[in-house]
Amino acid sequence: MNIGKTGKILLADIGGTNARFALSPSGRTGPIDYVKVADFPTVREAIADVLARRSNGEPPHRAVLAVAGPVTNNRCAMTNSPWVIDGNELQSALGFDSVHVLNDFEVVAWSLPALEPSDLVPLGGGDGLPGEPLLVVGPGTGFGVSCLVDRHGSRLAVVTEAGHATLPAENEREERVIACLRRRLGHVSIERGALSGSGLQNLYEALAEIDGVQVPHRDAAAITQAALENSCPVSRATLEMFCAILGSVAGNLAVTFGARGGVYVAGGIVPRFREFLAASAFRARFEAKGRFQDYLRNIPTRLVIKPDASFLGLTMFAEHNSG
């Protein structure tokens, strides 16, 4: 990739606990610098420290920052840290020509066209249609959804809050689980009800309750481990339901966005059990849309396993917005 006249660019992936920075000379991502958010009062000081150590006398002219939170007017107030990432303030304070602040899942969407086969695990479907929207969904701390659309030479990553939509049920057992969660949570969203770390734990506790089974307290990692070891029937049933619901939700979003180019699963949870997902009801539930089953059948589903897809997305965005 050629960034062209823009020269060196600062790229960043900023979470609540850790931030990663890299300088991108000529479209290549340089070494990644890991920074603990707690070590710096502000993002400005963290960036200044990274540049002092890494810029080698040639400061970057632009910055593209991915943040784990909602972005409004090029600004994000982080939910789980005191940092406020304001692109306009950083531009003037640090002398950048431009600073773009993007939602982290928006950045993952930008990476999709550049992913290689080795970055992906196929999960069924056809070849998809060239030029059609690409959708990415990701269970992690929350549930991220973004859709990359190409139209008339322009490219846009649509950012959503789809994780807060109401969790659908596909069968009577899921209806009972959702009813149990509704008594606890009130509104049962996709994120809190199933497709996140806390959602997986909520599923586990609800399944134990409706089946009248006593189970030890487990977090998402422990539930996943017990399911994969087949040492706990409730954990196993929880992970099976998680995969099935992920398929249904991904299929719903595919028809919502017309994502006939492909649907990608990312996030921090699912790559830990890729074989389990491939053998689960995920793909069958993805396609189970009645009269639209043929529409879904040709859409490929793929699991993203590239560790630094965010930096690829940042570079793709920078290249596409270099004018």
Give the domain range for residue 85.
Answer: 4-109+308-320
Give whole-number Cα distances, 48 to 7, 21, 60, 85, 284, in Å.
18, 11, 11, 14, 50
Q: Is 172 in the same domain as 251?
A: yes
What mean pLDDT comes out for the span 189-193? 96
Backbone Cα Rg of the chain? 21
pLDDT tens, position by position, 238-248: 999 999 999 99
Same domain (yes/no): 121, 215 = yes
Beta bridge partners of 145: 137
∠ CA(272), CA(273), CA(279), 5° rounding?
160
CA–chain centroid gap for 279, Å, is: 22
135 phi and psi, to 5 degrees?
A: -110, 140
136 and 102: one domain? no
E runs forming strands in the chain: 9-14, 18-24, 33-36, 62-67, 75-77, 84-86, 98-103, 120-122, 134-139, 143-151, 154-159, 262-265, 301-304
Percentage of residues in the chain with pLDDT exceeding 90?
82
Residues 272 and 133 placed together within one structural domain of the fold = yes
- Judgement on whether residues 164 and 270 belong to the same structural domain of the protein: yes
Tell me the pLDDT tens digit for each residue of 78-123: 877 889 999 999 999 999 999 999 999 999 999 999 999 999 999 9
Tens digits of residue pLDDT in 133-171 = 999 999 998 899 999 999 988 899 999 999 999 999 999
Residues 274 and 312 in one domain: no
CATH number of residue 270's parent domain: 3.40.367.20
- CATH code of 99's domain: 3.30.420.40
63 bridge partner residues: 10, 99
Report whether pLDDT(323) > 70: no
Q: Are residues 170 and 89 in the same domain?
A: no
Residue 199's pLDDT is 97
Same domain for 132 and 173, yes or no, is: yes
Check pLDDT > 50 for residue 321: yes
Euclidean distance between CA atoms 119 and 58, whole angstroms: 32
Please state the φ and ψ torsions of residue 193, each to the nearest 5 degrees: -85, -20
Question: Tokens in use for 83?
Answer: 């940092």
**pLDDT confidence of residue 27:** 58
Q: Do 218 and 139 lie in a common domain?
A: yes
pLDDT at 3: 42
| pLDDT-derived band at 310, boundaries 50, 70, 90 | very high
Sheet holding 262-265, edge to edge: 120-122, 301-304, 262-265, 134-139, 143-151, 154-159
> Over the chain, what is the mean pLDDT?
93
Whether residues 268 and 229 fall in one domain: yes
For 55-70, write each residue's pLDDT tens digit: 776 789 999 999 988 8
Residues 90 and 16 placed together within one structural domain of the fold: yes
Return the C-alpha torsion angle 199, 202, 203, 208, nearest 10: 170
Instruction: Let me know: does 10 contact 75? Beta carbons within 8 Å.
Output: no
Q: How confident is the model at residue 192 (pLDDT cuts 50, 70, 90)?
A: very high
Average pLDDT over residues 280-308: 96
Note whether 145 and 23 are same-domain residues: no
pLDDT beyond 80 at 25: no
Cα 165 to Cα 248: distance, rounded to the nearest angstrom: 13
Nearest to 189 by CA among 176, 199, 179, 197: 199
- Above 70 in pLDDT, residue 175? yes
User: Tokens representing 310?
Assistant: 């965010």
If one counts the domains in the chain, the total is 2
Residues in the chain: 323
In the β-sheet with 98-103, what is the strand arrangement from edge to edge? 33-36, 18-24, 9-14, 62-67, 98-103
